[in-house]
Chains A and B, each alone.
Chain A
Amino acid sequence: MEHCTVLRPADDPIELDLPLYGAQVQAGFPSPADDHIEGKLDLNEHLIRRPAATFFVRASGASMQGAGIFDEDLLVIDRSISAKDGDIVIAAVHGELTVKRLLKAAGAWQLTAENPDFPPLPIIGDTCEVWGVVTHSIRRHCGR
């Protein structure tokens, strides 16, 4: 089992509005950038709808690769959202937190990995419990 770590948001988050460019990066020729400013973006506002219910979790392991979640990615969790079939969730499984997809298959809930190397976990009794719904994942693409 791969265990996730919960991080707390900073005590004094800053608001930082940066211009949001509506760049179609695959579109080829650059045009004057001014035409493409769509507005201002604050990442906290973009990622966090309900601060009281939002937690950050560091993902661990390869089990959710197929969903685009990789080892060390940062996950944004919103506990105010009730989990539904198909959501990616943080679940407490045998006392440890793990990230999986919640699926209902043939009437039974299960937690599934998105990696063929990991078998699905049936949710039986109180050995598993949804801890929160993953709303975003944040991935670092440049290591320096």
Chain B
Amino acid sequence: MATFGLVDCNNFYASCERLFQPGLRERPVVVLSNNDGCVIARSNEAKALGIAMGAPFFKVRQIAMEHGVVVRSSNYALYGDMSERVMSVLASQAPAHEVYSIDESFLDLDRLAVPDLTVWCQDLRRRTQQWTGIPVSIGVGPTKTLAKLANRLGRPALPQGEGGR
């Protein structure tokens, strides 16, 4: 049976911002789109405040101010560099992988001969986080769709807990 993994970087843009500024770690962080118009990434703390993905910033400005949310303009050069790092760690560990978006990659785990796939995935998570500083989640399933679903289900439930960076 085919086995796919989906690796998805957690709150990718927000995690990139945090890596270089550890002081942002416990604080809610949002990243805005190019013209600072819309929220395109939220840390878990920002999600917990009910700030929605894609929300126009003017709609959440009030709540952001009240809760000391750190607001960042997007820095695509940084996110591109960090994405390349994550993808290269995945490429070095998985038999084959296919980059799906800036922060997601499908792993083809068919030919992976390991005694315990869960342990292998936990190891890959730890390694990716240590090497690049970016936390990731991994879902595994017999199809790409199910791997993606498994990834989604494996995450902590949050208000407006839909995906996104």
Contact = CB atoms under 8 A, between A and B. Distances in A.
B85 A52 contact: yes
Interface string B23-51: 11100000000000000000000000000
Interface string A88-132: 000010111100000000000000000000000000000001010
Contacts of B88: 51-52
A53 interface: yes
Contact of A80 (B21, B77, B131): B131
Contact of B132 (A9, A52, A82, A97): A52
Interface in A52-100: 52-53, 79-80, 82, 92, 94-97
B81 A53 contact: no
Contacts, number: 43
Dominant secondary structure of chain B at its interface with chain A:
helix
Q: How large is the interface on A (under 10, 10 to 19, 20 to 34, 35 or more residues)?
A: 10 to 19
Contacts of B133: 79, 131
Contacts of B20: 6
Interface of B: 20-25, 77-78, 81, 84-86, 88-89, 92, 130-133
A38 to B, nearest CB: 30
Contacts of B92: 52
A79 B78 CA distance: 17
A82 B127 CA distance: 11
